[in-house]
């Protein structure tokens, strides 16, 4: 029996390695987005500084481990088998859940996921125990106060961080303006002193207060001398930052990199429990059972020992720190999560990741109304003065950066202060929530959300916030059922759940690689947005256009063939799949047009006048192709869904043959687009004219059949619609190729 539990403990540590990898991928956004977004240093330098903070924080962590031992469940009422069941269910759920969010590029809270997984697993076992033992109640088995405090922390984190991020950034911008280099002769020393002091305070209060080397005497001394430490730090750093400024050192960069180190230190020191706390609790339980449970069954040995404080061996902490550093350097999903946060706080317009929603549109309309109302009552002189402080055309932003160093410094300093304040007030403010919402609030105050981008940014923020609540619900629900399956299924269920988790992780990794391969085309538009040379912009736009139009032709080819084949064989699932693909492609079309419009704005007027019409016509013909496939698929889907009479053999044969010719035309045209080769396009134009002639002939024959009343009228209506939309596909394909040839031509 002990061998089985030893294997479980070993597997818990294996899962902990994966959890550390996916956890760092998720939480890297907390301490990297400001430095990366402002390009305070090279990416490798930022990673190096963050890695030092992560390793030191992990190596000195220990005090937070108790939450996994007795923070949610009351271990004195649970047997060894039950505790191991809960802990295994938590780790299996956590690894898969965090990996799902990372793959989507959505930052979520590892604290919330662990707490609600513990709560879900404990609740499942508690129900079983209460049902079989009348002497125990749920209140005896579950510590609900912690879960409720985390829920309250969500609301507090979101509201407080967003409001103060907006307020402090607005004040910082009024003081420094976007052209901050001209207005920091003496104010920079004061700002640097406040920022550095805040970061030191944050490191002492939040980052190091529970570290293994912090004795009770050290904590007491810091508490008694906090005011003196803050005062001395402020004077020292104010003088130091002013001297650095006189020595031509960019103080904002120093503050950003120091803040990155502090947040990385605090993250590793306090959030390490989210990744290895559960395996360590399992290890401690197993050691207690093997030492004191001889002669007592695993299902009769109570885990009272978990009430004691955690004593984590140093080699576990060092090992965890090394794995976290490795994950920080190698995880592509970490870069994906960082990209989401940076894109939503980007100063300039560009390719938007998210679409728009009714809630976002309502919020934008309300905000515009409120802004117009305030503007009417504000004196003109005040509006003009504030306007001079927010001239975005004067912004000093590094090449390729999303925002400037002023905002990056505010993000890091304010996030650190709010987390330290929440800790001192015993409020469970999440690092993820605070850093993300401060970044969103500061970007709003910086007027980064213009009228053309606000609705997309708000949709993104609401999506991330919604994901936080989904995390809590999903963590509780999945862990609840996994715990029940393991409890009743025993070894068979454990093996099955482990196999399922491994399968999901491998599948997620393969899908992520496949999706990133598809997104390589986005690199072209990124280069385009960063370029200032008109010729280079035009060449990049041509390349981007070829890539996008080629995708449209590929989509049309695949879904036209799928729709016709599914309709002929009465395959309802295939038709629904095509209809879903059309709806998704329409969203991509909107994004493609938004991106294209932004790219065209970067060209000079002469180029726009010369090439702009061809570009927009190409987009219109591409849209018509997608909509034609949708109009063709919709009546087919309705017809088959209602189980109406199918095509007769003649109709099937006629339309199947012509569909093969159309898909071949699409293949040839796509190949020409990919290779930018239009030399023999006249041949395809002749073939397209012949195809349209064939389709017109089919239309006449079908009308003749209707007149002769030789078939079902419902079938004939669908057939005529399919012929008409097939003609539209052929016509729009050739028109797209013609305007593409003109747009791509070097003149």
C-beta separation of 480 from 487 below 8 A: no
Q: What is the pLDDT of residue 247?
A: 87
Q: What is the pLDDT of residue 503?
A: 83
Q: How many residues does the chain have?
A: 747
Q: What is the pLDDT of residue 62?
A: 57
Phi/psi at 542 (nearest 5 deg)? -60, -45
Instruction: List average pLDDT for each run of 10 residues in the chain, which is 747 residues long.
Output: 78 82 72 81 84 80 64 81 88 82 70 83 88 75 71 73 87 82 75 84 63 67 79 89 86 86 76 78 84 75 79 79 81 65 66 70 78 81 81 75 82 79 62 81 80 76 78 87 89 85 77 59 67 80 86 92 90 91 87 78 81 86 92 91 84 88 91 87 89 89 80 84 92 91 80
Distance CA 240, CA 232 (A): 12
Residues 6+ apart with CB under 8 A from 414: 164, 165, 168, 438, 442
* Helix, strand or coil, per DSSP, at residue 344: helix
Distance CA 53, CA 569 (A): 61
Q: How far is CA 722 from the centre of its chain?
A: 40
Distance CA 88, CA 95 (A): 11
Residues 6+ apart with CB under 8 A from 552: 585, 589, 622, 625, 626, 736
**Number of Cβ within a 10 Å radius of residue 230:** 15
Q: What is the pLDDT of residue 130?
A: 85
Q: What's the token pair of residue 340?
A: 């989401």
Q: What's the token pair of residue 646?
A: 């199918």
Q: What is the pLDDT of residue 92?
A: 87
Q: What is the pLDDT of residue 195?
A: 84
C-beta separation of 101 from 324 below 8 A: no
Distances (CA, A) of 39 to 334, 393, 398, 427, 439: 17, 19, 7, 32, 15
Distance CA 323, CA 722 (A): 58
C-beta separation of 32 from 108 below 8 A: no
CB burial of residue 465 (10 Å; 0-12, 13-18, 19+): middle
Q: What's the token pair of residue 279?
A: 């395996």
Distance CA 419, CA 530 (A): 35
Q: What H or E segment, with its residue span, contains residue 450?
A: none
**Quick one: CA torsion of 525, 526, 532, 533, rounded to 10 degrees?**
-50
Phi/psi at 524 (nearest 5 deg)? -60, -45
Phi/psi at 65 (nearest 5 deg)? -65, -15
CB burial of residue 521 (10 Å; 0-12, 13-18, 19+): middle
| Long-range residue pairs from 520-525, CB within 8 A, at least 24 positions apart, any chain | 521/547, 521/548, 521/551, 522/351, 525/351, 525/595, 525/599
* Helix, strand or coil, per DSSP, at residue 142: strand
Residue 310 DSSP symbol? P
* H-assigned helices in 601-680: 605-641, 649-675
C-beta separation of 482 from 121 below 8 A: yes
Distance CA 112, CA 274 (A): 9
C-beta separation of 222 from 210 below 8 A: no
Axis crossing angle, helix 251-271 with helix 431-445, rounded to the nearest 10: 150
Q: What is the pLDDT of residue 349?
A: 61
Residue 390 DSSP symbol? T
Distance CA 192, CA 46 (A): 19
C-beta separation of 120 from 480 below 8 A: yes
Q: What is the pLDDT of residue 213?
A: 57
Distance CA 742, CA 615 (A): 9
Structural domains in the chain, sorted by start:
2-518 (no CATH), 531-744 (1.20.58.220)
């Amino acid at each position: 029996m002990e061998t089985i539990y030893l294997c479980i403990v070993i597997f818990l540590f294996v899962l902990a390695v994966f959890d550390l990898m996916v956890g760092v991928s998720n939480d890297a956004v907390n301490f990297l987005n400001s430095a990366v977004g402002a390009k305070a240093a090279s990416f490798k330098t930022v990673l190096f500084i963050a890695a030092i903070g992560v390793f030191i924080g992990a190596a000195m962590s220990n005090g937070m481990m108790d939450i996994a031992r007795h923070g949610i469940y009351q271990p004195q009422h649970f047997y060894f088998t039950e505790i191991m069941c809960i802990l295994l269910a938590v780790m299996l759920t956590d690894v898969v859940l965090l990996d799902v969010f990372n793959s989507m590029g959505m930052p979520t809270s590892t604290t919330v996921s662990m707490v609600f997984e513990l709560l879900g697993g404990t609740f499942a076992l508690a129900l079983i125990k209460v049902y079989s033992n009348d002497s125990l109640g749920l209140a005896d088995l579950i510590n609900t106060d912690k879960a409720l405090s985390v829920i309250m922390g969500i609301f507090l984190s979101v509201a407080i961080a967003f409001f103060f991020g907006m307020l402090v950034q607005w004040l910082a911008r009024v003081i420094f303006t976007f052209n901050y280099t001209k207005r920091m002769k003496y104010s920079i020393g004061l700002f640097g002193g406040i920022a550095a002091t805040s970061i030191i305070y944050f490191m002492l209060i939040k980052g190091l207060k529970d570290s293994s080397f912090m004795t009770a005497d050290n904590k007491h001394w810091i508490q008694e001398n906090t005011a003196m430490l803050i005062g001395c730090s402020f004077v020292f750093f104010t003088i130091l930052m002013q001297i650095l400024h006189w020595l031509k050192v960019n103080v904002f960069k120093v503050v950003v990199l120091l803040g990155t180190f502090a947040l990385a230190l605090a993250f590793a020191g306090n959030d390490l429990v989210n990744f290895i706390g559960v395996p360590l609790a399992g290890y401690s339980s197993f050691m207690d059972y093997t030492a004191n449970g001889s002669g007592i069954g695993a299902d009769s040995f109570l885990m009272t020992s978990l009430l004691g404080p955690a004593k984590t061996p140093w080699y576990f902490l060092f090992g965890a720190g090394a794995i976290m550093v490795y994950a920080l350097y190698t995880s592509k999903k970490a870069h994906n999560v960082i990209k989401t946060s940076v894109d939503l706080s980007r100063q300039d317009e560009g390719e938007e990741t998210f679409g728009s929603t009714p809630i976002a549109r309502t919020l934008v309309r309300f905000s515009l109304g409120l802004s117009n109302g305030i503007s009417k009552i504000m004196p003109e002189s005040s509006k003009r003065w504030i306007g001079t402080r927010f001239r975005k055309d004067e912004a000093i932003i590094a090449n390729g950066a999303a925002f400037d160093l002023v905002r990056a410094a505010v993000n890091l300093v304010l996030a650190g202060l709010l987390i330290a304040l929440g800790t001192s007030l015993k409020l469970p403010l999440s690092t993820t929530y605070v850093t993300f919402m401060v970044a969103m609030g500061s970007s709003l105050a910086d007027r980064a959300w213009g009228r053309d981008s606000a609705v997309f940014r708000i949709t993104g923020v609401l999506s991330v916030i919604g994901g936080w609540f989904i995390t809590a619900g999903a963590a509780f629900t999945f862990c609840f059922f996994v715990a029940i399956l393991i409890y009743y299924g025993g070894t068979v269920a454990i093996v099955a759940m482990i196999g399922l988790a491994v399968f999901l992780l491998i599948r997620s990794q393969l899908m992520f690689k496949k999706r990133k391969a598809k997104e390589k085309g986005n690199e072209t538009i990124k280069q385009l947005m960063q370029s200032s040379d008109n010729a280079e912009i035009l060449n990049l736009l041509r390349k981007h256009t070829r890539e996008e139009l080629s995708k449209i032709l590929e989509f049309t080819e695949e879904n036209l063939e799928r729709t016709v084949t599914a309709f002929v064989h009465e395959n309802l699932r295939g038709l629904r799949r095509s209809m879903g693909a059309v709806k998704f492609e329409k969203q991509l079309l909107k994004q493609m047009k938004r991106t294209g419009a932004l790219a065209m704005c970067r060209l000079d007027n002469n180029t726009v006048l010369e090439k702009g019409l061809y570009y927009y016509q190409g987009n219109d013909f591409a849209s018509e192709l997608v909509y034609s496939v949708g109009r063709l698929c919709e009546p087919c889907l309705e017809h088959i869904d209602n189980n109406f009479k199918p095509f007769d053999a003649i109709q099937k044969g006629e339309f199947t043959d012509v569909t093969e010719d159309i898909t071949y035309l699409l293949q040839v045209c796509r190949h020409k687009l990919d290779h930018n080769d239009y030399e023999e396009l006249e041949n395809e134009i002749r073939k397209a004219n012949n195809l349209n002639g064939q389709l017109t002939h089919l239309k006449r024959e079908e009308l003749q059949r209707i007149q002769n009343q030789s078939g079902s009228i419902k079938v004939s209506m669908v057939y005529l619609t399919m012929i008409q939309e097939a003609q539209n596909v052929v016509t729009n394909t050739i028109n797209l190729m013609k305007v593409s040839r003109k747009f791509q031509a070097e003149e």
